[in-house]
Structures are given as C-alpha cells and as structure tokens.
C-alpha cells in the first residue's frame, strides 16, 4: 500500500510509536503532519528505549527517509536537541531528515504566551504540554506566523518579528498586572519569553537579538528544508510507500476532539493531506491505533475515567506517565463510543489494539458501549462540552484472564477471554482488527491478518 495514514483513536498515547515502528518495514518514507514537540512517542528496540517528540519514529529504522510536513509547528531548538540526542545514541539523522519550507516556527514568546493563557483560564485551563503549540498555531491562523522559508529571507523575518514584538509588549503589560514580570520589562518594545532550558525564568530579548538568533537557527535548518509535498508526491509516483505518522489523537483534534480540551492541530486523518500537501485521492489506507483501555493526560472530559484507586492500578501496570511532561495519565475503561466515532471521523480501514498485556490478571473487564445523557441514550460522541462532562457511560462486563498474554504471537495463543475481549472491541468499533500489541518490544505482536 503506497500511502498509509496512522492515527490515534483516543486522547493520544495509544502506542502509535510502536505500531509505526512495526509498519515501517513496508515504508520507505515516514512523515509527521501535525503537532510539534508536544508529542511523546516511545519506541523500544532491544534493550534501548527511545522517546521522540518532533522527529518521526521512522528515524529509528536505518534506511528510512523522514519528513516533517507543513502542518507541524517546529521549535528549532527542540529539533536540534532531539537530533543530537539521537546522534549521540548512534542513530544517523543527517541526510535522512527533512523539514517543510512552509512549516511554522515556534517563536520565543509562544511558550510564555501559553503559560499566561493557562493562568488566565484558571480552573478551565487545558493542561497543555507547555511547548508553545497553541500560540504558534494561533499566529499561523492569524496570518502573522514565521515559516521556515522566512528564516532565509531576512527582510521578511525582521518585519514579522517587529510586529510580533509590538504584540508581545502588549502581552507583557498584562503580565505586569498578573505580577509575572516587573514594570521595567515593558518600557520598550521587547520580546518576552521563557527560555526552553529554564522555563520558569522569564527572560527579555530585544527584537534584534531574536532576529539574529533565528537567522542562525535558519542557517542550521537550511540544508534540511525542502518542498515536502513535491518529494512525497514524487515518491508516490515511483510506487514507494509513505507512512503518515499522526501525533496526539482524534479526541485531541482541534475540530473533532473534546473542544476546547484539545491540541491545536488536525490530528485526525484529514490532517495528513493538509499537513503535507498530498491529495486525498492518493491515500490508500487509514490505520487506527487504540489502547485496550483509555488514558488521557491533561484536563477535560473523560466519560470512562476510573476512580483514583482503580486508575492508579492501571497507571502502575501500564506505566501511564506522560512521555513529554512526566505527568500521571488519567486511566479508564475502553470506550467503544469514542472508538466508533474515531473510526468514522478518520475513515479507519484497519485497527491495531495496544497494551493488551496491561489488562492481564483482572477478574473482569468493562467496555463502554453507549452513553446516557439526561435520561436519553446518545448515539454518538456529543459536541457539547457540558454533555461530554455529564454523560453516563453504559457498560458491558466481560470475563478477564489470569495468564499473561505477553508471550502470545498467534491469536490461537491468546487466552479465550482475551480473544473474546479484542473481538468484542472489533465488533463494537466496526473496523477489522489487524493486530494486537502484547508488550513494548517490537516482536510482541499478534497479527490477525
Ligand atoms: P498542547 O498540545 O500542548 O497544546 O496540549 C493540549 C492538550 O493535548 C493537553 O491536554 C495535553 O496534555 C494534550 N496533549 C498534547 N500532546 C499530547 C500527546 O502527544 N499525547 C497525549 N496528550 C497530548
Ligand atoms: Mg505519547
């Protein structure tokens, strides 16, 4: 299959990194199409564990060429630090990783702006990863963003930074009111930001200094900056296989997720086209990845969330801590309403279930098959935030299994209850089950095809 999109069907952390790694065998090119360094994709190869944020997981496979598409927002410092940590571990990156000339760039004040917004939201804060993602996409939609190609055009870059500096000054005035900074910092137009390496320390940088720093970063990016749309389409013309690697998940999609508790990009399959410049008619397959239970990191509605004690049991069994922020993930039962909704939004053609081994040893397991809201059954995931918070899940109880599924490699080797559990999920989701992951290692897979 030449063009395969891989998407998360829940709130992120479905184990997409592992499935990308498994599917990589077939692919020559791997491309990220949305999000930024907010992602945390964990891949285990032998005794080594890698956590990738911005670079596609395909980089871990020798010979694969990786791209960061126009739909991604790039923090150049985060990019270079990830590239050097990969190189320090013996993964060659240079000459195999390219970025789009049209990708937007995360600027110094985006992270601070996010901090201020979260503070202003108070109890309604999103619980973001703090990587400047939302403000960068806001500038993109506001048509004032800096793109990779602007880093090479000094006049454009200088003008853009001047406008943004003025805006940042206004923001700084607000900050003074909120006692984040002292009044001295707003006496002249300045860019105010928190440096990546010391997030709590607010720093002030003149527009001319920001300009110089970004020109230098631009020179480092220049050899990697290409027309990604052209390269991917040429590869597809040559019948090469391209894997589109989604980050976050469908319920964190800006349009289709649990808005406003979402990320700011198109995490669903449609984003693969807008985020790379490959047309919808060229996509052959959409692979959906869902965890055998549900987790969410950050705030917002989560209908099947377990009580804190039961959540803790799953969290420990599944090592459910954010790969980017280290925050404990909220845990709950598998939600088939969410899975069915995601299957439709993305047009999922194949399903992979992950982390089935984490459910070993439960006497019984629950699957949410529907929601009730104000006494009525809901046919779908609701649009209203109020409803998302207040729906009552309807559960079906299934028998658990005692023995570990970790050693299973064929479906006949799964305990009958485990097979029954995944087959029921397949039925409720309405998508063919292609495989189940039973551990973090590459070979810990049971294929159903
Ligand atoms: P942002 O993407 O940093 O703006 O955060 C918005 C929401 O998405 C927060 O709830 C984050 O915890 C969540 N989020 C962002 N990236 C990921 C991810 O890769 N996995 C899981 N949750 C994420
Ligand atoms: Mg993750």
pTM metric for this prediction: 0.93
In this structure, what token pair is assigned to residue 103? Answer: 């990708």
Q: Which of 32, 36, 38 is nearest to 298 (CA)?
A: 38
Nearest CA, atom 12, ligand 1: 298
Mean pLDDT of 134-147: 96
- Ranges of beta strands (E only) in 302-447 are 330-332, 334-335, 350-354, 364-373, 376-378, 392-399, 433-437, 445-447
Ligand 1 proximity of 328 Cβ (cutoff 6 Å): no
Q: Identify the weakest region by mean pLDDT among 111-125, 164-178, 257-271, 430-444.
A: 164-178
Residue 89 tokens, joined:
């571990």
For 170, counting Cβ atoms within 10 Å of its Cβ (0-12 exposed, 13-18 middle, 19+ buried), the class is: exposed
Q: Identify whether 104 is a catalytic site residue.
A: no
Report CA(324)–ligand 1 centroid distance (Å): 9
User: Mean pLDDT over all residues of the chain?
Assistant: 92
Ranges 98-112, 349-363, 406-420: which has the least confidence: 98-112
Lowest model confidence (mean pLDDT) among 79-93, 198-212, 290-304: 198-212
Atom 5 (ligand 1): residue with closest C-alpha?
128
For residue 201, pLDDT beyond 60:
no
The residue assigned the tokens 């869902």 is 290
Between 34-43, 192-201, 311-320, 358-367, the lowest mean confidence (pLDDT) is in: 192-201
pLDDT at residue 360, rounded to an integer = 98
Q: Find the ligand nearest to 42 CA.
A: 2
- Distance (Å, whole) CA 444 – CA 115: 40
Segment 68-107, tens digit of pLDDT: 999 999 999 999 999 999 999 999 999 999 999 999 999 9
Give residue 31's Cα distance to chain centre: 13
pLDDT at 197: 38
- Ligand 1 pocket residue status of 134, Cβ below 6 Å: yes
For residue range 141-200, list pLDDT tens digits in order. Answer: 999 999 999 999 999 999 999 888 887 777 666 666 665 554 444 443 444 443 333 444
Region 389-401: what's the mean pLDDT? 98
- Among protein residues, the one with the nearest Cα to ligand 1's atom 1 is 128
Whats the size of the chain, residue-wise? 449
Ligand 1 proximity of 330 Cβ (cutoff 6 Å)? no
Question: What pLDDT does 171 receive?
Answer: 66
* Per-chain residues with Cβ under 5 A from ion ligand 2: 13, 40, 323
* 17, 257 contact by CB (below 8 A): no
Among residues of the chain, what percentage have pLDDT more than 90? 83
Instruction: For ligand 1, atom 10, name the residue with the nearest CA.
Output: 298
Q: Quick one: which of 123, 126, 200, 214 has its CA closest to 165?
A: 214
Asked if pLDDT for residue 363 goes beyond 50, the answer is yes
Taking residues 114-131, report their average pLDDT: 89
Distance set, CA 70 to CA 39, 104, 440 (Å): 16, 7, 31
State residue 186's pLDDT score. 42
Confidence of residue 22 (pLDDT cuts 50, 70, 90): very high
> Which of 248, 296, 323, 324 gets mutated to test ligand 1 (max ligand atoms within 8 A of its CB)?
248
Q: Is the model's pLDDT at 295 over the cut of 50?
A: yes
Tokens of residue 430, six digits: 């309405």
Under the banding of pLDDT at 50, 70 and 90, the label for residue 204 is: low
Contact 190, 165 (CB under 8 A): yes
Sheet holding 350-354, edge to edge: 225-226, 97-100, 65-68, 29-32, 242-245, 3-8, 285-291, 350-354, 433-437, 445-447
Return the ligand number nearest the Cα of 327. Answer: 1
The two tokens of residue 333 are 């039962």
Q: How far apart are CA 436 and CA 46, in angstroms?
A: 19
Res. 112: pLDDT tops 80: no
CA 247 to centroid of ligand 2, rounded, Å: 8
The DSSP secondary-structure symbol of 417 reads H
- Among 41, 53, 104, 362, the active-site one is 41
- Residue found under tokens 């201020």: 116
Cβ within 8 Å of residue 10, ≥6 positions away: 249, 250, 251, 290, 291, 294, 295, 296, 335, 338, 339, 342
> Is the CB of 229 within 6 Å of ligand 1?
no
Tally of CB atoms within 10 A around 439 = 20
- Concatenated DSSP letters of 113-176: HHHHHHHHHGGG-----SSSHHHHHHHHHTT---BGGGGG-HHHHHHHHHHHHHHHHHHHHHHH
The pLDDT assigned to 193 comes to: 43
Q: Residue 162: name the closest of 202, 189, 195, 193 by CA.
A: 189
Statement: residue 334 has pLDDT above 50: yes
How many Cβ atoms from other residues are within 10 Å of residue 184's Cβ? 9
The residue-averaged pLDDT of 402-418 equals: 97
The answer to whether residue 16 scores a pLDDT higher than 60 is yes
What is the rounded average pLDDT of the residues 306-318?
94
Is residue 200 part of the annotated active site? The answer reads: no
């Amino acid at each position: 299959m030449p063009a395969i999109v891989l998407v998360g069907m829940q709130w992120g952390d479905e184990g997409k990194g592992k499935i990308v790694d498994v599917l990589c065998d077939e692919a020559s090119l791997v491309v990220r199409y949305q999000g930024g360094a907010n992602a945390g994709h964990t891949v285990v190869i032998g005794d080594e564990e890698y956590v990738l944020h911005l670079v596609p997981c395909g980089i871990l496979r020798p010979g694969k060429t990786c791209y960061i598409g126009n739909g991604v927002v790039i923090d150049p410092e985060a990019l270079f630090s990830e590239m050097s940590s990969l190189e320090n571990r013996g993964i060659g990156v240079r000459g195999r990783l390219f970025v789009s000339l049209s990708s937007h760039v995360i600027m110094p004040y985006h992270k601070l702006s996010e901090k201020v917004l979260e503070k202003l939201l108070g109890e309604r804060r999103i619980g973001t990863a703090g990587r400047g993602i939302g403000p960068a996409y806001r500038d993109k939609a506001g048509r004032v963003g800096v793109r990779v190609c602007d880093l090479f055009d000094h006049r454009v870059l200088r003008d853009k930074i001047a406008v943004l500096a003025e805006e940042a000054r206004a923001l700084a005035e607000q900050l003074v009111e909120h006692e984040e900074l002292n009044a001295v910092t707003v006496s002249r137009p300045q860019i105010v930001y928190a440096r990546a390496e010391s997030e709590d320390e607010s720093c002030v940088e003149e527009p001319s200094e920001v300009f110089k720093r970004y020109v230098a970063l631009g020179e480092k990016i220049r050899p990697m900056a290409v027309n990604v749309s052209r390269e991917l389409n040429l590869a597809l013309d040559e019948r090469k296989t391209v894997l589109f690697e989604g980050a976050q998940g469908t319920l964190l999609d800006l349009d289709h997720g649990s808005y406003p508790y979402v990320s700011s990009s198109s995490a669903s399959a449609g984003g693969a086209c807008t985020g790379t410049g490959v047309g919808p008619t060229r996509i052959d397959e959409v692979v959906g990845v869902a965890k055998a239970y549900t987790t969410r990191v950050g705030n917002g509605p989560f209908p099947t969330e377990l009580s804190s004690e039961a959540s803790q049991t799953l969290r420990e069994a599944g090592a459910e801590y954010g790969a980017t922020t280290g925050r404990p993930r909220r845990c709950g039962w598998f939600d088939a309403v969410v899975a069915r909704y995601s299957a439709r939004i993305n047009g999922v053609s194949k399903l992979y279930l992950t982390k089935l081994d984490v459910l070993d040893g439960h006497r019984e397991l629950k699957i949410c098959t529907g929601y009730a809201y104000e006494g009525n059954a809901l046919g779908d995931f609701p649009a209203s935030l109020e409803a998302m918070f207040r729906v009552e899940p309807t559960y079906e109880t299934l028998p658990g299994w005692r023995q570990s599924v970790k050693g299973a490699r064929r479906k006949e080797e799964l305990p009958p209850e485990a097979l029954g559990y995944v087959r029921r999920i397949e039925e409720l989701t309405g998508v063919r089950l292609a495989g189940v992951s039973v551990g973090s290692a590459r070979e810990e897979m049971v294929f159903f095809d």
